[in-house]
C-alpha cells in the first residue's frame, strides 16, 4: 500500500513544491492516512499527553468556570456547549460531571463536538456515554447550530491547524514550500518573492533565514466564534501553547512517542503542530465587537480557578493517590512544566462580566 509520504511525493512531482500548510493539512487530516484520522494518538502509549489526560481537575475547573459564568450572565437557556478537537472526550466528560452542581444548567445545555477523526469520535462517544451525556458531532464549527449562547472550549486544537510560513531570503519574503529530495525524502524550498501582510511583521528588520507564520484557519474559526458570541452571548476559552506575536520563528514541530521527531520525515505517523500566535486571534475577536481577555498563563489561570484547593481536597478523599495528584498539579501549573508555555484566552460579549481565571 502507498504510504502518505508516497502520495505527497507524487503530488509534488505532478504539481510542484507544496506550501507548508498543504503538507501539514495532509499529514494531520488526509481522509484515510492523516495522523488524527487513523488513530488515537493520546496517552502514555501514544505520542503525547494533554492537560485533561493528566488529571480530571483540569476539566472540572473549566466546568466550574463555565457554570459560574452561566449563572453570572443570567442563566440563559438553551445554550450550546461546544468543544473543538475533543480528543478522547475526557475534558468534556469532566466538565459535565462538574456541572452536576447546577442541574438547571445541565438541563439547558446541548453538547456539540467538532471532530474530524472517526477513531477519536468513538473514544468521545464512550466517554460521554459513561457520564450519561448525549452529544452531536460535526466536522467543522460552522455546522454547529447558531441559535443560542455559546460556551466553547478548545484545548490544543488550534495548534493542529495548518500554518503558512514565509522565509526571508536575500532581503525578501518567500512562501515556504516542501519539495521532493530524492526517493522518500522531502526538503524545504522557497517560491517566488511575495509581499507578506504588514501585521505579521515584527518591529525589527528581518534577517535572511527569518521565518514568519500565519494560520488563516485559526483566524477564520475565531472570527466565527466571536461573531456568534457578539450576537448571542456566551464565552470561548482557547487554551494552547503559544505566544503573542508578531515575532519571527519557525515553530513547526513533530512529536512521536513523546519525543521530538524530524518534521518532514514521517507525515501521517507523527503529530505535527505549530505554536499559536494569539495576537491575530484577539484582533479577530475585537473586529467582531467582542472583548478578548488574556492571554494569561495556564498556571495563573488554574491557580485563580482554585486548582491548589481542589488538589488538596482530592488528596484528602483519596490518600492512596496523594502523590499522583501532587504530581499532576505540578505538571499542569509549574512554570517549567505546562504552566508558563500554555496560555489561555477568553472571548466574551462587550459589556459582559469577566469570567473567573482572568483576575488582574
Minimum CB separation of residue 10 from ligand SAH in Å reads 23
- Is 22 one of the binding residues for ligand SAH (CB under 6 A)? no
C-alpha 109/C-alpha 122 separation (Å) is 22
C-alpha 175/C-alpha 216 separation (Å) is 14
Picking from 205, 200, 176, 198, the residue whose alpha carbon sits closest to that of residue 188 is 176
Cβ closer to ligand SAH: 124 or 180? 124
Q: How many of the chain's residues bind ligand SAH (CB under 6 A)? A: 20
Site stretch for ligand SAH (CB under 6 A), options 63-71, 109-117, 186-194, 281-289: 109-117
Cβ closer to ligand SAH: 155 or 165? 155
Q: Is the dihedral of CA 317, 48, 21, 241 positive or negative?
A: positive
Minimum CB separation of residue 304 from ligand SAH in Å reads 20
Cell numbers of 161, please? 491547524
Residue, CB closest to ligand SAH? 85
Query: Which parts of 148-177 interact with ligand SAH (CB under 6 A)?
Result: 155-157, 160
Cβ closer to ligand SAH: 53 or 210? 53
Cβ closer to ligand SAH: 117 or 297? 117
Site stretch for ligand SAH (CB under 6 A), options 114-122, 201-209, 283-291, 343-351: 114-122
- Is 34 one of the binding residues for ligand SAH (CB under 6 A)? no
C-alpha 4/C-alpha 219 separation (Å) is 28
Q: Where are the beta strands (DSSP E) in 116-252?
A: 135-138, 150-155, 164-169, 172-180, 186-193, 211-214, 234-243
Minimum CB separation of residue 263 from ligand SAH in Å reads 17
CB 20 within 8 A of CB 164: yes
Out of 47, 60, 94, 115, the only residue in the binding site for ligand SAH (CB under 6 A) is 115
What is the per-residue DSSP string for 24-46?
Answer: HHHHHH-TTT-HHHH---BSTTS
Cell 463555565 belongs to residue: 66
- Is 345 one of the binding residues for ligand SAH (CB under 6 A)? no
Minimum CB separation of residue 156 from ligand SAH in Å reads 4
Picking from 247, 302, 251, the residue whose alpha carbon sits closest to that of residue 279 is 247
CB 14 within 8 A of CB 6: no
Query: Which parts of 37-56 interact with ligand SAH (CB under 6 A)?
Result: 42, 50, 52-53
Site stretch for ligand SAH (CB under 6 A), options 73-81, 108-116, 241-249, 288-296: 108-116
Return the number of other C-beta atoms located less than 10 Å from residue 68's C-beta.
17
Rg (CA), the chain: 21
Picking from 85, 50, 233, 107, the residue whose alpha carbon sits closest to that of residue 96 is 107
Binding mask 71-90 for ligand SAH (x = CB under 6 A): --------------xxx---
- Is 281 one of the binding residues for ligand SAH (CB under 6 A)? no
C-alpha 8/C-alpha 14 separation (Å) is 10
Cβ closer to ligand SAH: 91 or 254? 91
Minimum CB separation of residue 232 from ligand SAH in Å reads 22
Cell numbers of 120, please? 477519536
- Is 60 one of the binding residues for ligand SAH (CB under 6 A)? no
Phi first, then psi, for residue 41 (nearest 5°) are -90, 0
- Is 294 one of the binding residues for ligand SAH (CB under 6 A)? no
Question: Which positions lie near ligand SAH, rule CB under 6 A?
Answer: 28-29, 36, 42, 50, 52-53, 85-87, 91, 114-117, 120, 155-157, 160
Amino acid at each position: 500500500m502507498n504510504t502518505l509520504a508516497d502520495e505527497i511525493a507524487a503530488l509534488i512531482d505532478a504539481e510542484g513544491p507544496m506550501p507548508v500548510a498543504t503538507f501539514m493539512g495532509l499529514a494531520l487530516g488526509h481522509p484515510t492516512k492523516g495522523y488524527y484520522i487513523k488513530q488515537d494518538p493520546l496517552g502514555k502509549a501514544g505520542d503525547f499527553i494533554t492537560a485533561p489526560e493528566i488529571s480530571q481537575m483540569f476539566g472540572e475547573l473549566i466546568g466550574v468556570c463555565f457554570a459560574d459564568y452561566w449563572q453570572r450572565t443570567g442563566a440563559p437557556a438553551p445554550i450550546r456547549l461546544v468543544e473543538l478537537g475533543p480528543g478522547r472526550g475526557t475534558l468534556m466528560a469532566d466538565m459535565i460531571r462538574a456541572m452536576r452542581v447546577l442541574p438547571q444548567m445541565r438541563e439547558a445545555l446541548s453538547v456539540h463536538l467538532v471532530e474530524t477523526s472517526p477513531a477519536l469520535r468513538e473514544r468521545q462517544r464512550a466517554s460521554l456515554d459513561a457520564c450519561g451525556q448525549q452529544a452531536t458531532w460535526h466536522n467543522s464549527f460552522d455546522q454547529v447550530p447558531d441559535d443560542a449562547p455559546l460556551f466553547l472550549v478548545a484545548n490544543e486544537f488550534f495548534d493542529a491547524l495548518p500554518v503558512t510560513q514565509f522565509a526571508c531570503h536575500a532581503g525578501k519574503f518567500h512562501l515556504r514550500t516542501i519539495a521532493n529530495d530524492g526517493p522518500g525524502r522531502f526538503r524545504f524550498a522557497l517560491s517566488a518573492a511575495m509581499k507578506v501582510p504588514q501585521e505579521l511583521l515584527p518591529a525589527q528588520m528581518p534577517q535572511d533565514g527569518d521565518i514568519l507564520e500565519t494560520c488563516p484557519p485559526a483566524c477564520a474559526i475565531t472570527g466565527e466564534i466571536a461573531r456568534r458570541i457578539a450576537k448571542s452571548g456566551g464565552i470561548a476559552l482557547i487554551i494552547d501553547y503559544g505566544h503573542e506575536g508578531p515575532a519571527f520563528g519557525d515553530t513547526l514541530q513533530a512529536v512521536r512517542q513523546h519525543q521530538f521527531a524530524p518534521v518532514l520525515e514521517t507525515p501521517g505517523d507523527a503529530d505535527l503542530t505549530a505554536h499559536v500566535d494569539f495576537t491575530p486571534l484577539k484582533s479577530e475577536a475585537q473586529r467582531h465587537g467582542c472583548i478578548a481577555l488574556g492571554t494569561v498563563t495556564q498556571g495563573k489561570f488554574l491557580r485563580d480557578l482554585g486548582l491548589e484547593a481542589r488538589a488538596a481536597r482530592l488528596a484528602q478523599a483519596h490518600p492512596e493517590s496523594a502523590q499522583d495528584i501532587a504530581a499532576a498539579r505540578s505538571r499542569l501549573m509549574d512554570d517549567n512544566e505546562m504552566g508558563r508555555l500554555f496560555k489561555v484566552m477568553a472571548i466574551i460579549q462587550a459589556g459582559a462580566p469577566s469570567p473567573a481565571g482572568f483576575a488582574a
